[in-house]
Amino acid sequence: MDQDYQVNHKMKVAHDFESEGKLLHAAQIYNQILRENPDFIEVYYNISNLYERMGNIKPALNILKSYLEDNPENKDIRLFLGQYLLRNSKWEDAIDILGLIQPEDEPIVAFFIGYSHFMLGEYEPAKISLDNFINIEDKTELVQEANIYLAKICLKLSDFENALLYAKKAEVLYSNFWELNQIYAETYYNLGMYAHAVGPIEKAIKLNPTESTPYETAGKIYLKLSDYNKAEKYFLKFIETIEDASSEIYTKLAEACLNGEKPKDALAYFDIAIKLDPENKTALAGKNKAASILNNNMVSDG
């Protein structure tokens, strides 16, 4: 009983130090508790969160992994470590740690593993894990988030029909989520259904006007629909909201201007595209066309 009291007292002192911002003092006490009471689970959570707050997760990872080596059946610590790794973008480690928990026992594990594969660009295994999660767990809001990721994955895999199916399932909770509308717009665009893409992309922009991606998609959609003024407007907005626009984007902006009978602007944007990528054949051909139109205009005016 005295030992329990002492441990709880030390935990309180460490917590008080944390509250006061004296993080090193707190860490010293937590480490002392660990040495003297290595089976006291609560301290593992506290010290790990403290190290994360200090911006130094390596000691926490060592402590948690060491504990799991001695106690591999402790599912709670394994799940905690898995989420800790996810928060710190350690995707491969998270897959390794969480892979030893059966999704039937903890369905959330299938979601976490699927998400980790997604972040690694491993779309096929990501899809398998997320589908598995949905099949096991169908009564949580996280299912709709899984559907969002599955729609994104299908877009990456050029499986546009299934991207639409997953997006429609996610609509239950996410109809006013900008990214779902972005997914719809991209999917319709890739299916050649440009008119269908207009509503979702305009909604995505309205829901999140600070996000750059929808502006690029909107520009591409309106370029396909021959609405060159809107295409120009959205490509310019996209360029404004990012640090470094690609040669391809400047080429599309130039094409919008050229088709919108603004050959001088088109020529300027084609020049930028060529500076960014001297091998850009579309921009080189476009520049020649814009220059030819300007020369013809000068001859006509003369």
- pLDDT 10s per residue in the chain (302 long)? 456 778 888 888 888 888 888 889 988 998 898 898 888 899 999 999 999 999 999 999 999 999 999 999 999 999 999 999 999 999 999 999 999 999 999 999 999 999 999 999 999 999 999 999 999 987 788 999 999 999 999 999 999 999 999 999 999 889 899 999 999 999 999 999 999 999 999 999 999 999 999 999 999 999 999 999 999 999 999 999 999 999 999 999 999 999 999 999 999 999 999 999 999 999 999 999 999 998 887 655 54
CATH number among 1.25.40, 1.10.10, 3.40.50, 2.60.40, domain 246-302? 1.25.40
pLDDT of res. 229: 97
pLDDT of res. 295: 85
pLDDT of res. 235: 98
Q: What is the signed CA dihedral for 193, 194, 195, 197, rounded to 10 degrees?
A: 90
pLDDT of res. 296: 82
pLDDT of res. 129: 97
Ranges for all domains in the chain classified under CATH 1.25.40.10: 1-71, 193-243
Indicate the CATH number for domain 193-243.
Answer: 1.25.40.10
pTM: 0.86
Contact assessment for residue 179 and residue 163, using Cβ atoms and an 8 Å cutoff: no
Written as six digits, the tokens of 184 are 């719809």
pLDDT of res. 1: 44
How many Cβ atoms sit within 10 Å of the Cβ of residue 234? 25
CATH number among 1.25.40.10, 2.60.40.10, 3.30.70.1520, 3.20.20.70, domain 1-71? 1.25.40.10
Contact assessment for residue 64 and residue 80, using Cβ atoms and an 8 Å cutoff: yes
pLDDT of res. 13: 86
